[in-house]
Structure 1
């Protein structure tokens, strides 16, 4: 195992114990880019964990990262619509705007102003060898990579540090970005005095859900089941999911990824062990497995869809939630920016 990942896993176990003992002592920053509706991969990968932390009593900041939409595309299309849709997905999944701060990048200029001093704390070489940046650049559809793509980890550091978050729920692939935020916090404190906590990664044990085509689940690939999808859309997507010819259904992610993905999806929605779900389907083959997955997903999403439909029907409420969250986030960011300027002796 990668020693960095192993250390992060040990640290996560310790942090989970501390959070359980005193949740109010922690602040979390997390978020998504508004590029389309959230799907089941997002729910089981991040949303459920955010709701869990919120319910424990952790102070949760949830970012709608609209500026970061521009990292890998020329224009941010349908941004207002996607931002409201993202807010609806958050609230439908259980984020409570009375207990969590939901806000937009573009509404908090003080956050983005932190980019300048933070960029002075990291070298070009450090950004260039960041493996996550390398992967994003390789996957980018742009003819040329923008400076925003290159400095994406520093922008994320500003997201995390503006509110002095000390916990950042991430997957293992995001650890390099998280390490940049830790580096920025340490170097600022060493150079200018103690202002920022050094944020810890809170590794998620999120399941690795694949899309219905066997590739990584993605909004852009049309292989994901959106939280807002209708029961009929869900059934259509799952009926064409990749499986295999063996009628005996088993849960073997390495040997049978397509079949195992459907088993896992049904198991997550039922709150059961995937081996037990596979045993229930038995010799029913792919048709029976897909029927089980369709029924499980539709039943699981039924209350979320109902809440989301109510929220989508009241865009004025969603705008009010964002306005209030933006105001709270901006007040926090203004205080942090003042501290930064004072520490850097930039106050007249």
Structure 2
């Protein structure tokens, strides 16, 4: 896990509170870039952790870019897997959750070549030592063991900078562990402006919108992860959801209480129900009382299925129209290409490369 200094997190939190007020007053001045790797369908943790916030920002009037980062699939894998299906599943999850393709630009990495041309000048602006110090790169190097780290994974922070800066994104929703990545993007923007543009702002230094997203555990009581198979996918059926929650880990105490430090598994289930129902987790715990884990799991199952029912119905309807899905992605790719070409032209002009 990435460790970020407390003072940096506190500073980002104060700045985020200010940004939220600015967004409410003038959302049109902001442009958000965020996205996901297409490695499988999104789950409940994604939904409450990031996806619902993206929809919120878009509905407030913030211009939104969503990258389906297909090139990033191979940062730490030997093959791409079933990439076409995974891209489709991710697109369905976005749309079903409320992302509006009429205003959001949804695009794939591989369809925007001008974005990746920014990598060359951007890589010249950072040192190998700076990349090695990046917490995610360090963590991946430690986790790799005897497996060699790919060059793509090593330069991932710069690739992420290109994702954000190609569209001049100035607002990036992040968790506290992702703050070092955004600082790399700010560094690249600042150095480009100083070294190649004589101090003229070609790229803005994007702000972090720090997320206070809740931490939900997987049904086995460990970190929620697709690779662990401990997640509730947004596309799961009611029966599949019930099956997963029935096997969720709890503890031996019969009386249900919300105590994240001493009862993390029970508290995570209560938090899940609270997020789905809008009721405080303490109140839900009091309602269950001494009826035990079975009553808790019944409550959570009903809350999750009820909350996700409209999303799942919408998703099913969207899946029945593959031409519409292809059209959305084609339009998003076209718009991203247009913006990337404009940005690349300005970069070439700044670097005296317009021959």
TM-score band, normalised by the shorter chain? over 0.9
Helix, strand or coil at the partner of 2:291: helix
1:102 match: 106
**Superposed, which structure 2 residues align to 1:102-181 within 5 Å?**
102-140=106-144, 143-181=147-185
Question: How far, CA to CA, are the matches of 1:33 and 1:298 in structure 2?
Answer: 26
2:24 match: 20
Question: How far, CA to CA, are the matches of 2:87 and 2:145 in structure 1?
Answer: 22
1:214 CA drift (Å): 1.2
Question: How far, CA to CA, are the matches of 1:10 and 1:338 in structure 2?
Answer: 36
1:76 aligns with 2:83: no
Helix, strand or coil at the partner of 2:80: coil
Q: Deviations over 1:113-170 (max 9, x none)?
A: 1111100000101110111222233445982210011100000000000000000000
2:275 match: 268
Structure 1 unaligned blocks of 5 or more: none
- How many residues are paired up? 348
Structure 2 unaligned blocks of 5 or more: none
1:58 match: 62
TM-score w.r.t. the length of structure 2 is 0.96
1:329 aligns with 2:336: yes
**Is residue 72–residue 141 contact of structure 1 (8 Å, CA) maintained in 2?**
no
1:42 aligns with 2:46: yes
1:340 match: 347
1:277 CA drift (Å): 1.1
Question: How far, CA to CA, are the matches of 1:245 and 1:205 in structure 2?
Answer: 30
Structure 1 segments (4+ residues) deviating >6 Å = none
2:306 match: 299
Query: Over the residues paired in the alignment, what is the CA RMSD in angstroms?
Result: 1.1
Question: How far, CA to CA, are the matches of 2:57 and 2:144 in structure 1?
Answer: 33
1:246 aligns with 2:253: yes
TM-score w.r.t. the length of structure 1 is 0.98
**Is residue 72–residue 140 contact of structure 1 (8 Å, CA) maintained in 2?**
no
Q: Deviations over 1:285-336 (max 9, x none)?
A: 1110001001100101100000111111212111110000000011000000
1:347 CA drift (Å): 1.1
**Superposed, which structure 2 residues align to 1:173-192 within 5 Å?**
173-192=177-196
Q: Deviations over 1:15-72 (max 9, x none)?
A: 1111110001100001000000000100000000000000000000011000000111
